[in-house]
Structure formats: C-alpha cells, structure tokens
Chains A and B, each alone.
Chain A
Amino acid sequence: MIVKEFNFLSKRYFALAISAILLLTSLVSLTFKGLNPGIDFTGGFSVEVAFQEPPVINEIRDALASGGFPEAIVQSFGSSKDINIRIMPRENIDNKAIGKQIEAILNNSANAVELRGSEFVSPQVGDELTEQGGLAMLYALMMIMIYIIFRFQWKFAIGAVVALIHDVIITMGVFSVFQISFDLAVLAAILAVVGYSLNDTIVVFDRIRENFRLRRKEQTLDIINTSINQTISRTIITSGTTLLVLFTLYIIGGKSLEGFSLALIIGVVIGTYSSIYVATTSVLFLDVSATDLMLIKKEKVDDGMP
C-alpha cells in the first residue's frame, strides 16, 4: 500500500472502555431515570398556542393552575412566542372541553393567543405503541441478522447486531440522561439509525470478506485493520454529508423534528464509531478466520453489474 496504514485495532481496548462506560451510563440512566416519554406514549392532551407577544411562562402556569390544571406542563416550543401545554390523562377527561377550557383561560390575558394545533392521545394507544416499537426493533434486528448470516456468516451477523444494540442503547441513553422528550418520531429515528449504522458496518464487513479472499496469508487482525483503512475515507465522507443535512434539519426543521434529527445525529456519530470499533472488534473476538468464509462460493466479480 502506498498510503500509510493507521492501526485502528491497536486502540481497541481503549475503545472497549469507552463503549463500556457509555453503555453502563446509558443502562443505569435508562433503568433508574427512564425516558421522558412524549404524549404519543403516555397519552394525554397537548395544545400548541402562539402568543402575539412573548408570554411569561410562570404566569401561564399560574393561570392554568387556578383554572383547574395544576399538573399542566408548560414549555416554550420553537420561538419564544410559541408555547406547548401538556396535560396528563386523568379520570373522566373530557377532551372536547379541555381545548376550549385552555383557550378560554389563556384568552383572559391581554396577550392575544392563537390555537395552532392540539393533540389528544388515549393512554391505551401509548401502551400499544411501546409494545409495537419494541417488536419493530426486534423484527428489524432478526431480519437483518438472517440476511447477514445468508450473505456473510454468523460471526459477522453477531458483530453487526452487537454494534446495532450498542448504538440503540447509547442513543436512547442520551435521551434518558438529558431527559429529552422521547416521542414517536424519535422512535422512527432510532429505527433509521439501525439502518444507517448497519450500512456502515456492512461496508467494512464487505471489505473484510474481500480481503480474506485476496490475502489468505495475512493475520486476521491485519486484514481487519487494512479493511478499516480502505473504507475509512468513504465512512467519513458519507457520515459527513449525512450529518450536514441532519444539522440543517435540526436547525431549521422546526420543533417537531428536533428530537427526530437529534436522535439521528447521535445515532450517526455513534454508528460510525461502532462500525469501526464495535462491529470489527466483536468479529475479532469471535475469532473469525479465512476458513469461515471459505464455504461460500466465491462470487463472480461482475454479479449483474451494468
């Protein structure tokens, strides 16, 4: 090789330590602090209003409390004039009346208010969503595993899935530690992270497989290192362009896409790292060797190529 290779895997124990710390922090936070579930999961009532002038949030809180909603969560939403009010589900909730009631309470002040949107979700739906989300994640992981076993080999499948679980837990961990609202869009983003992180991992694995076939005499460690080196510029460029658009989305996409783009940003960063270290290290630990890939017939190089 003309370009000097960087020995990525020599740092693998250091990376392992970082991953362990991140995973542990995430798991502890997820267990004890939990996520801050959005209305999609808890159920309840949420209104989005726009004031003419930036309002004082505490005044809104007081007005709502005296109007019969002491538990209302009041947050600014996007600009300083936009306010989101959330009310948890409660007994005999008459959601038809709540919207009007809140509007009436807010309209009392001199500051004109416009009802921009409202949302009601029954708690039942929330429970189902949690179940469905978990199931979706499980199915995605299973199908991906089957595909990789079929296309590569079981050791690679385990490596890829370990990396995916690693990414999902850490991304969710960040949402837990900072108590960022976890809504339906964030769940979708995390599933997209699964797809994205996998993309990176597959590219590296593909190279490892190719190199195993080309350089039979080399050590596994060297082959993996070479493969990472050969794919690193692609990994960085693709992650870079993806992050570029994600930051755009985060900044100008509006409040409703903020959680979504944040989850993807975290996921892409972690996913890039994990495809370099976690997936490859797992494969190394499983003691992958050239013989593991021998059983698969060597594909023709031009399989259907244009």
Chain B
Amino acid sequence: MNQYPLWKNIMVIVVIILGVWFALPNFYGEDPAVVIAKENGLAFSQLETSDIEEYLQEINSGYKSIKRQEKQILIRYDQVEEQLSGSDSMRAYMGRSATVALTFAPRTPNWISRFGLKPMSLGLDLRGGVHFKFKVDLDAAIEQRLNQYIADINKALIDKRIRRNIKKQGNVISIELSDPEDLSRARSLIREIDPLLVIETVPGITSPGLQVEMTQDQLKQRRDFAIQQNILTMRNRVNELGVAEPIVQRQGFDRIVVQLPGVQDPTQAERILGATATLEFRMVCENESAFAAEAKGRAPIGCELFVDRAGNPVLLKKKTIVSGNQLIDASQTFSEGRPAVSIRLDNKGSKSMLETTKRNLNKPMAVLFIQQRQETKERNGQFVTSSVLEKEVINIATIRGVFSSQFQITGVSVVEARDLSILLRAGALAAPIFKVEERTIGPSLGQDNINRGFQAILIGLAMVVLFMIFYYKGFGLIANFGLLINLTLVMALLSLLQASLTLPGIAGIVLTVGMAVDANVLIFERIKEEIRIGNSPQASITAGYQKAFGTIADANITTLIAALVLFTFGTGPIKGFAITLTLGIITSMFTAIIASRAIVNIVYGQRTINKLRI
C-alpha cells in the first residue's frame, strides 16, 4: 500500500495553502493609475486634493478613484487610454509645481493588503518607464582627490616658505625642491596632511625631490566613496523628481542603474540625474584687461580667464569665495520679474561670504556656472566617452551691501533656475557620470508585453494540460494539478521576493510550464516500465517514484547550475529570466515528486488496483 505519513500530507497541504495565500494579491490585478507628487517634496492638503478631484470631474475624465497617501495623490483608472489622457491633463493642470508619473496600483482588497501582501512587481518592460545605466568616471574621482592633495601640500609648503615645484604625473604627485635642506621638513609636512600617503625620495636636478602616491587601499576607498556618494546624490535627485518606486543601484565595478517606472520623458530625467552643474562665487580681476588676456592666450598671475554667456572674455580671481558644496538650500524664485535662484550657505560659506562682501563693497563679484559635458570621440576605431569641464560666467553683480548666508542670484533661464535649485539641493556628484545605456518603454508597449506574455502562459499551459490528460489519463490529471500548484508557487515566491517580473521572466515561466512536467513524465514512464515487467500496480508506483528520483535530481541540479550562472552574469532582463527559471525548477521538484505523490497516494494508495491506467 502506498501511504504518506500524516506529517507529510500536512506539509504538502501547508505549502499549497501558503502558496495560494502569497500568490493571492496577483489574482486581483492592478489598476492603471497616475501618481502626482509635489516638486518641493511637501504633502498635499485635503483642500488641494478636493481641488484636483473637482477638476477631474469638470473635465469628465473617467477616473475611478482618487486617494491622498503620504506625499502623493493616487488616481486610479479603468482603462490604460483613460490613464494616459488623464496623466496628460494632470500634467497641464499641475504645471511645473508637480511631477506626474504613470503607475499600476494593485486592486488587492484591504483585508489582504493589511498583511503586507503585495502582487509581483512588474519590470520596466511590462509597465513602461525609463531605464538608465551610467558609468562613473572613477579616474576623474581619483584626479579630484589628487588635486585636493596638491592644493593642500602646496599650501603647507608655502606656509613654511619652502620653494617647490609641484606637478602631477598620472597618479603620482612629484615635488621638486630647490633646497636639499627642505627635504625632511617637506616630508613631515606631507605626513601631517595624510599619514597614509606613500612618499618616496627621488633624485632631482638641484635637490632630491619627493614623489607622493595614494596607497591601493586609499584608491579603492576613494572609488567606493565616489560610487556610494553618487548613488546617494542620484537617489536624492530621483526623489526630487517624485517618481513612484524608483530604483538606484550599483552594478558591477563602476556602473549605476536607475529605473524610473512610469516616467515617459527620459530627457528631463537624464538632465537632472546626470547633471553636474554647480556654482562658484569669485571676485573679478578688475585692473586687468580681459580682452588683452584673451589675445595673449594667458591670464595674469592670480587670475583665470573665462567667458560669459555672450562669449565675452572675463578675468576672475583664482581664489573661490564659496563653492557649490557649501550650499545648504536652494530654491527657484523670481527677482524683479526675472528668474532667480535663492541660496542659503552653510556656516563656513557664510563666514567666507561675509568677510568678502565686507572688504569688497562696490566691487564686482561673479557667479561661475560649472558643468560636465560628455564628448564621444573615435580613438583607434573605438568610441571613447570622456567628460569635459565647462565653466561659464552667468552673472556679474556689484556688491551693494554686506551679506552672508542668504541671497539670490540671477542670470539664468526659468528651466535653469529650476534644475539648478534641484541640483544644489540634492548635492553634487562626487565623480562625473556618463550614460552608457538608456531604454524607454512606452506605456502602450508595456501593456502589449503584459498581454502577450500572459496569453503565452495561458495558451502554453492549456496545450500542455490537454496533452498530459490525453497521454497519461488519470495520472495526467495529477501532473496537471502539480503544474498548477507549481505556477502558483512561482507566483507566490516572486511576490514574496518582490523581484521584478520582466518579459524574459515571463518567458522563463512559460519555459517552466513546458519543462516542469518533465519530472512527472520521468516518473510515469518508470511506472509504465515497471508494469510492463509484470510488477503489481502498487509496487510499480513505489518503484517508479523511487527509481526516477535520482535522475530527476541530477537533471535538475545541472539545469540549476546553468540558471545560476545566468543569474550571476546576467544583467537586467536576463536576471529576470534566470530568477523565474531557477524558482520554476525548484518548485517543480517539489510538486512533481512530493505533491504529486501525495495525490497518487490518496487516489490509488488505499485500495487494491488490478490494472493501472497510465
């Protein structure tokens, strides 16, 4: 007789119940919806919400419900078309003060969502949105640090009146000294700046010089810092954009992936994400002629040559009064009818600004706008992207009074004022980034992908189910039941893990449907063989399950190896495929070996069978 001990039957039932429970939210489906968030990150008031609701009724948009939640307003629709036209009209209604993004809102009833259950999260290719991959320019991050060291070393040596010539050669700072006596003093001064730096003495022309390098650890730390800082900054920036469920993640050595579901215009998102715009305040070199300097191609000592927006040369002092990282807040305003950015400085910046304005009343001060631009050039048949620093004087104003922490700058357009205030608020990138990948998936394409994907699953499933019944009769029914449990378990696991389901992920599920019956086929074929040799039906069932087990394990483990390699090496869509394939293999082993056996035992196990129809 084929009987499972009670605990095994209970286990099977518990797993099935848990699977159905966690997969449950998916059966309710999702509503196409629109999320509105304020650009300044504040919450909506009850009044504003009812204003929007009134407007929605006024324009007769076929919305289903409107709800205020945390800092957002969520408007649900019945149809994707209504959602699209709804988001357009909301965009026009809200204007620049808010971002409007498309999303899907689960229809899960309260009594389920109260337990924190969520449906599978859909990938960008299914829900539409923008995907970016950025490469962080780590060399630039190192260079920035080296320049900082050079400035510090230079200052320390000047203070001690040591005559020197400092140059940067690759990642090495080389310091030529005029007087050999200074060598040990210079060395200890550098030690004071950073005791970890590698300092070597090298022969020089008049005196031995020093070579300073960062250690491997320092280089690694600097690189990691640059990437982490960039991720932080980009997260801040994405939050400023007000997108629902954004993803900002490190990938591999120097990549950052950003996914913005529901966003339709990659241009704005990219402008904000990748922007490196920052400001610097400097005094103008008054007694020198900028045009003469431009003609000579060289700026006088202590000055630096720039151009303003009209293309005219401007000479500014080399010393920076305040730089972008000393800003604590920035917002877009208007000053005398012109777009402006209102700025607040931190303590150090305020002090520096106060001193400067005190000493330089009625003298001109300039605002320098700095940003990285990317340039793609062909070098030996390879396309190489590098970042170029662009500096431009946007405004020169005469200091009319003493000010310190709060002031406004003008000379920017409306869009620039808005972007600049977002960027200054969110913080600067620690290293320049450039885009290496961008994917935009329109909402209609996403919906199309969902429909096709689920159709493929259903039709594929129907065909396999019919075939199994036709070929294995009663046992086919049992295998089909296992197949359904298998699909439910995959869905439950995906919902639990909240791994995003992509189109290749759906393909993985479809493939699982085809392959999951394999274990059952192996078992059933074995049972058939046993019967053919003349064994009794009950003994054949036992032997079939037993003998097939080793084969199933071997075959599935090797497939699992391939799936895991895919998971490790794959990115984005491939990972999605690898996840569903892996889950599918694991759950199919459970359903085909343990769950199907439980049913076989219940159906056939307790009675004497003369002939097994299989």
Residues of A bordering B, CB below 8 Å: 2-3, 43, 48, 50, 89, 91-93, 95-96, 99-100, 114-125, 132-133, 135-136, 139-140, 143-144, 147-148, 151, 184-185, 187-188, 191-192, 194-196, 198-199, 202-203, 206-207, 210, 230-231, 233-234, 237-238, 240-246, 248-249, 252-254, 256-257, 260-261, 264, 299, 301-306
Contact = CB atoms under 8 A, between A and B. Distances in A.
Contacts of B550: 206, 299, 303
Given A136-B565, A233-B525, A299-B550, A195 B467 contact: no
A86 to B, nearest CB: 14
A261 B546 CA distance: 34
Shortest 8 CB-CB contacts between residues of A and residues of B: A195-B562, A245-B460, A242-B514, A136-B569, A245-B514, A122-B436, A195-B559, A120-B438
Contacts of A133: 569
A143 B436 contact: no
B84 to A, nearest CB: 11
B455 interface: yes
Interface in B453-470: 453, 455-456, 459-461, 463-464, 467-468
Contact of A124 (B436, B453, B545): B436
Given A125-B437, A241-B467, A91 B555 contact: no
A252 B551 CA distance: 33
Contacts of B141: none
Contacts of B568: 136, 139
B513 interface: yes
Interface stretch (B212-220, B401-409, B411-419, B516-524): B516-524
B574 interface: yes
A210 B543 CA distance: 14
A203 B551 CA distance: 6
A202 B377 CA distance: 51
B383 A249 contact: no
Contact of A249 (B435, B436, B510): B510
Contact of B439 (A117, A191, A203): A117
Interface in B534-590: 545-547, 549-551, 554-563, 565-566, 568-570, 573-574, 577-578, 581
Interface residues of B, number: 84
Interface in B363-390: 375-378, 382-383, 385
Contacts of A100: 267
B440 A254 contact: no
B471 A202 contact: no
Interface in B293-340: none
Nearest to A136: B569
B444 interface: yes
Contact of A119 (B438, B464, B560, B561): B438
Interface in B428-458: 434-442, 444-445, 448-449, 452-453, 455-456
Given A43-B383, A244-B460, A305-B549, 7 more contacts: A91-B377, A118-B438, A133-B569, A139-B568, A203-B522, A241-B514, A254-B452
B448 A254 contact: yes
Contacts of A3: 532
B503 A257 contact: yes
B130 to A, nearest CB: 9
Given A117-B440, A117-B442, A151-B554, A136 B566 contact: yes
Given A185-B504, A245-B514, A303-B549, A50 B383 contact: no
B514 A144 contact: no
A139 B567 CA distance: 12
A257 B508 CA distance: 11
Contacts of B378: 91
15 contacts: A115-B440, A120-B435, A136-B566, A139-B568, A185-B573, A188-B578, A192-B511, A195-B558, A195-B562, A196-B559, A199-B559, A206-B554, A248-B510, A252-B452, A306-B594
A135 B437 CA distance: 21
B559 A252 contact: no
A302 B270 CA distance: 59
Most chain A CB within 10 A, of B441, B448, B461, B554, is at: B554
A240 B549 CA distance: 22
A116 B445 CA distance: 6
Contact of B438 (A95, A139, A188): A95
Nearest to A187: B574
Interface string B228-264: 0000000000000000000000000000000000000
A306 to B, nearest CB: 5
A127 B597 CA distance: 49
Contact of B467 (A199, A234, A244): A244
Contact of B518 (A119, A184, A238, A243): A238
A191 B267 contact: no
Given A147-B557, A253-B452, A192 B510 contact: no
Given A120-B437, A306-B594, A202 B554 contact: yes
A234 B525 contact: yes
B181 interface: no
Nearest to B566: A191
B463 A245 contact: yes
Contact of B459 (A242, A248, A257, A299): A248
Interface in B84-98: none
A188 B464 contact: no
B391 interface: no
Contacts of B515: 196, 199, 238, 241-242
A235 to B, nearest CB: 9
Contacts of B473: none
B559 to A, nearest CB: 4
A133 B570 CA distance: 8
Contacts of A188: 504, 566, 570, 573-574, 577-578
Nearest to B554: A202
A144 B558 contact: yes
Contacts of A89: 376, 383
A280 to B, nearest CB: 16
B8 interface: yes
Contacts of A305: 545-546, 549
Most chain A CB within 10 A, of B441, B503, B550, B565, is at: B565
A151 B581 CA distance: 23
B561 A143 contact: yes
A211 B545 CA distance: 18
Contacts of B456: 245, 248-249, 252-253, 257
Contacts of A302: 546
B275 interface: no
B194 interface: no
Contacts of A114: 442, 444
Nearest to B561: A143
A125 B434 CA distance: 12
Contacts of A261: 507
Nearest to A194: B562
Nearest to A306: B594
Contacts of A230: 529
Contact of A92 (B375, B452, B545): B375
A256 B507 CA distance: 11
B511 A93 contact: no
Given A203-B551, A301-B547, A234 B522 contact: yes
A87 B546 CA distance: 57
B135 interface: yes
